[in-house]
Amino acid sequence: MAMNADPNSGSTDATDSADVPGEELLPCGRKLGDVWRQWEDGLADPHTRTCPHCSAALHDLDRLQDVVRRARAEEPPQEDTGALVDRVMDVVRLELRPGRTLPLGASAEDDWIVEAAAAKVFRAAADSLPGVRTGSCRIAPAGSGAAAPARRARGPVAVRVEIVVAATVNLQRIAEQVREEVFAAADGLLGMEVGSVDVTVTDVVPEDDLAEGGPR
Amino acid sequence: MTADGEPVELTERIAQAVAGVPGVAFLRPGLAGLLRSSVAARATGRRVNPEESRAKSAVRVGQGSAPGTLAIEVSVVLRRGHRAVDVTREIRAAVRRTVPAEAENRPPARVTITVTGLV
């Protein structure tokens, strides 16, 4: 069982690999997704502040957020509007860092889903269990190997999910429950064939610490 | 005409058909493409048509591998609460209903659906 010295290092989406195919490059060579993320994290460097391309991209991000805020204000109150901004910005981030393209449905079909969207569903399924906080979730076409997955290979996928658990839970039982949740979500929410689910407990923390992480 | 030589109207008709399928939130918005176009437009001084950019991003109509066939690629964001593969199958059916009227003499098109997000 792997133990991770820094539990926060696991709290990422599927899209945090160093190089993701299809990332948008600005004319200055910076990745649009990186520029946005740094800005949101308050980490913009001198280049970003002075580069016209980065500045223009950040201006567009501001405009986009304004549009979403206005849309939220105009939505009927009975709608679940509380997290609309986050949801729309999630869509934008998914588009910038989609990860691999994975098969949906049976082998003979031609339906697909990006890794980041599927991973979000699986993470939410695992997070629904008490005493579990889900970190990274990677999904690979089965048999592809992690190094060089075939582009658009059909067949059951292999899921690898990292979790931080409360010290009060039984590790083996909670790992099995996470597996069951992921299999159930894959079939019931997506219609994705999953061949295997590997669960890694990266840390065991006091229950109170787990709650402080909050829902993500 | 698109870069692949298909009428823009076919792309638009497919986009409308897809958007009408229950469980579809919206076509892949192409926000990254829009931003890139915006940045490029600032650099070159040219205006970019946002609608054209969006349609190109979400629905692509090209030539299939067999002569005379179409290959149609659709990218969509779905609503949670709908089983994704059930929606993509409905999308395919909707696309196929749209295409024959536009291209009566062609063999069935290959239709590829990609879910790019869930909201």
Any idea what the CATH number is for the domain that residue A169 is in?
Answer: 3.30.70.1350
Q: Are residues A70 and A152 in the same domain?
A: no
Residue A192 is assigned to a structural domain of this protein = yes
> Which residue in this structure is represented by tokens 């090209």?
B62
**CA quadruple A98, A101, A106, A108: dihedral sign:** positive
Q: Give me the interface pTM, i.e. the ipTM.
A: 0.79
Q: Are residues A112 and A192 in the same domain?
A: yes
Chain A / chain B CB contacts < 8 angstroms: 105
Chain B interface residues (partner A, CB cutoff 8 A): 28-36, 38-40, 42-43, 77, 80, 83-86, 88-89, 92, 110-119
Q: Are residues A172 and A114 in the same domain?
A: yes
Q: What is the pLDDT of residue B3?
A: 46
Inter-chain residue contact B119 with A90, CB threshold 8 Å: yes
Q: Are residues A110 and A174 in the same domain?
A: yes
Mutate one of B34, B35, B113 to test the A interface: name it (highest A CB count within 10 A): B35
Q: Report, as ranges of residue numbers, the positions in chain A whose pLDDT lies below 50.
A: 1-21, 146-149, 214-216
Q: Please tell me the total count of domains within chain A.
A: 2
Which residues span the domain enclosing A56? 22-74
Q: What is the pLDDT of residue A2?
A: 41
Q: Are residues A203 and A136 in the same domain?
A: yes
Q: What is the pLDDT of residue A16?
A: 41
Residue A140, phi then psi, degrees to nearest 5? -125, 145
- 3-state SS, B38-107, equals HHHHHHHCCCCCHHHHHHHHHEEEEECCCCCCEEEEEEEEECCCCCHHHHHHHHHHHHHHHHHHHCCCCC
Q: Report the C-alpha gap between B100 and A10 in whole angstroms.
A: 49
Angle (CA) B115-B117-B119 rounded to 5° is: 130
Q: Report the C-alpha gap between A185 and A34 in whole angstroms.
A: 30
| Structural domains for chain B | 8-118 (3.30.70.1350)
* Residues B50-98: tens digit of each pLDDT: 555 544 568 888 888 877 788 899 999 999 999 999 999 999 999 988 8
Q: What is the pLDDT of residue A214?
A: 47
Mutate one of B38, B77, B118, B119 to test the A interface: name it (highest A CB count within 10 A): B118
Please choose, from the candidates B57, B8, B59, B12, the residue with its C-alpha nearest in 3D space to the C-alpha of residue B32. Answer: B57
Q: What is the pLDDT of residue B113?
A: 96
Sheet holding A132-141, edge to edge: A132-141, A157-166, A194-205
Q: Report the C-alpha gap between B62 and B103 in whole angstroms.
A: 13
Q: What is the pLDDT of residue B114?
A: 94
pTM of the model: 0.68
Residue A65 is assigned to a structural domain of this protein = yes
Question: Which of left, alpha, beta for A15 (phi over 0: left; psi -120 to 50: alpha)?
Answer: alpha
User: At B42, is the pLDDT very low, low, confident or very high (cuts 50, 70, 90)?
Assistant: low
Residue A88 is assigned to a structural domain of this protein = no
